[in-house]
Structure 1
């Protein structure tokens, strides 16, 4: 039983079903497209999991719904005039993918609707004497399974039930975000750095805004006529997100939520002094597409799974919540799902563990308490090896911004940016890495 049909929960459900393990996903939303958030970054490790776990037609649709590798060839650092002062080449570490959250969630749920119970809000759990777990739901229903996995986000009710409290804390910093549809006006003087990858623009005050371009006309792979699963290609837009270090920085009070006009007013105030193009982006942002979202994070120095090993565990933000400043949350959840699939299929002899074999023919019986607890403990121990570094890396930009906005550092920031820009210009004589198959 999986609580939550997010990215990790859906990959887990698919992998277990392919292994012949009966699975049911309980999702509070009433449809997969009813989700917040914007664009996701899939790391090479996450792309590899999707390639391995998804049927080839679904995986090809995922690739066709995202962007080509050349759209993420670098990470740029801009000043408040949107001039590039530094660039970090992506390197050749594997295939990255940028894709909309709604598109990915819908494709991961392709042909899984029979195992998803929508509108099912988890309220609590109890451990049974036979080693199984029973979950209760807001509508009064109950469901029992050999294994329960919480994939229900940073404010996980599953983790709260297991640990006695949520393990993620709400951070002081939070984000304001929106997207402006591409137009001739937006394209005309857009920073060229955005055509090569996402960027952070930093003002002398320490205010930072994340920018990324989604331009399917220029970067999306062309859908193939023979594709059995249709890609979900979003229209072009510029996604922006202001990292707000402190609520006191806002001009008007805002509360977390989607479709809030007060978000745009606060963003305009925070981005005072930025290049006119940035304000045109805000002007072209539909208030219905503007959001304030809180940042949550687990403590990388603490035990991420502080409960006794049993028949329940968690994955993704439920167990290692991290702010979006690292772009690693969804990718890490997908890696969790793959690791947990391996542990649970090994518990049953690995039958059907390769997705291309289809669902296994042998239905697993009740595994029993001790083997399940050992498998979940092994998953939790292995998961921390990559989740803790990802969590630390995601928190680091917030620490940098906090230091840059301190009274001691703020007067030095313009000089730091100027020096960084000079060094970057001296190094910029080297060409950008060319994608495979292309010549500079």
Structure 2
């Protein structure tokens, strides 16, 4: 069985690695020329995503991943702040969490090594078709065409493959634009390092502005005490943050800005919404070259709306099907689980116990449930942020957060 994967992101590479491990004939094509051409947050992999990766990659590859990851169980509980940096409360205890955090670039690099020669960079797929006998074909930007027995779209939110299958977009803007960046903990002042601590946190203010501050330390909070296995691009305590604003003409114009100018525009956006300088220090001290903008897109939360096409020799996974805002930290993990599910179903085809269409149908049914689950969680936070951009929501946020902060101070004193 010849398989083509369109897209070399996390889901596509995980699928390629799993298929290669089981001796399938597979090629994964990606438009990027360098596997490190990616940005965004660090990635959280829960226990289910890690179990899926164990099925997909060889033990030595999985150990490299753990050797470059940060353990959530070694972190204090996440914090919730207001726009003035006042503590509102804490999230659940993480001491029993099996989840790990890893840089997106690090994970993508390790998975690319697992895919090895099956990965073809600098090859953009522009269209999908069929041969006279019904086999899928992929047309490339250079004019070449390749055919296969199964074609899988792992090409993200703006998937060529999923759009071909669905006859249109499979997701829509969620109403929020995000901006991500990195700030070394050592670049912050002493008081701000003490306030933020070795934990992740979230701050939400009126008029739809929010700031997520993720804490990543693959050295101090290493999953494995194996320095020789450490490949993380993050080499010390780092805050990898995400700023969020409701879509508007002014915010949209910022997406074309880069570097120090973009950092300055972000700070202005928060200041106009009444955020204190204290709560913005992590942005002020950020590496300007690390800052990138991206729109939140989301598929339907209804499982029956996902993968709305008849099962056949062309399918898709990950954000191509269930595009998920990063507000639940589960999108990449779900794509990995999609990949493991598809490999499991294809092994039945290889064993001769089921037909390809039946296997794809079973995979897509599993994926619809999984996609609906993670989208429902992610959209709760998106709706919360958007609710603060209404007159009532802005007023409630402005009046209730000081009360919550005061209540939290009294609770801590008692």
Paired with 1:374 and 1:128, the residues of 2 have a C-alpha distance of: 21
SS at match of 2:392: coil
Q: In the alignment, what sits opposite 1:38?
A: 41
Cα RMSD between the aligned structures? 2.6
Partner of 2:152, secondary structure, is strand
Partners of 1:279 and 1:3 in 2: CA distance:
39
Q: CA contact under 8 A between 1:206 and 1:413: conserved in structure 2?
A: no
- Contact kept, 8 Å, 1:176 with 1:263, in 2: the verdict is no
Report the CA distance shift for 1:154/1:72 in structure 2 as closer, same or farther (over 3 A). Answer: farther
Q: Is contact 2:296-2:325 (8 Å) kept?
A: yes
Aligned partner of 2:318 in structure 1 is 316
CA separation of 1:85 and 1:377: change in aligned 2, threshold 3 A: same
Contact in 2 for aligned 1:249/1:270 (Cα 8 Å): no
Q: Which residue of 1 aligns with 2:329?
A: 327
- d(CA) in 2 for partners of 1:424, 1:346: 55
Would you say the 8 A contact 2:21–2:57 is kept in 1? no
CA offset digits 1:220-257 (Å, max 9, x no partner): 346536x5x6523413322221111132564x822257
| 1:34-67: CA deviation from partner (whole Å, max 9, x where unpaired) | 1222311112211221233222222121112121
Matching of residues 269-418 of structure 1 within 5 Å: 269-272=268-271, 273-301=274-302, 303-349=305-351, 371-418=355-402
Pairing partner for 2:215 from 204, 213, 216: 213
Range 271-280 or range 166-175, more displaced: 271-280
* Alpha-carbon distance, 1:175 to partner: 0.7
Q: Does 1:7 align with 2:10?
A: yes
* Aligned-residue offset at 1:260: 4.0
What's 2:262 paired with?
A: 263
DSSP-derived class of the 1:337 partner:
helix
SS of residue paired to 1:306: coil
- Structure 1's unaligned 5+ residue stretches are 351-366, 431-440
Partner of residue 58 from structure 2, selected from 55, 58, 61: 55
The secondary structure found in structure 2 opposite 1:189 is: helix
- 1:94-153 Cα offsets, whole Å, 9 max, x none, are 511111110000011114331111111001122234442111101112111111000000
Hey, what's the Cα distance between the residues in 2 that align with 1:349 and 1:57?
Answer: 27
> Structure 2: how far apart are the matches of 1:234 and 1:81?
28
Q: What are the superposed Cα offsets for residues 254-286 of structure 1, whole Å, 9 maximum, x if unpaired?
A: 2257x4444212211222243434433223223
Map Cα deviations across residues 165-195 of structure 1 (whole Å, 9 max, x no partner).
1211123211122212232544542254541
Q: CA deviation at 1:342?
A: 0.6
1-structure distance, mates of 2:114, 2:25: 15
- In structure 1, what is the Cα distance between the partners aligned to 2:280 and 2:254? 20
User: How far, CA to CA, are the matches of 1:261 and 1:247 in structure 2?
Assistant: 21
Q: C-alpha distance in 1, partners of 2:375/2:161? A: 20
CA contact (8 A) 1:44 1:93 kept: no
CA shift in 2, pair 1:248/1:191, >3 Å:
farther
Q: Is the 8 A contact 2:162 2:321 kept in 1?
A: yes
CA distance in 2 between counterparts of 1:425 and 1:343 reads 54
TM-score, L = length of structure 2: 0.90
Q: Does the 8 A contact of 1:131 with 1:146 survive in 2?
A: no
TM-score, scaled to structure 1: 0.85
1:241 equivalent to 2:225? Answer: no
Is the partner of 1:335 in helix, strand or coil? helix
> The residue matched to 1:110 in structure 2 has which SS?
helix
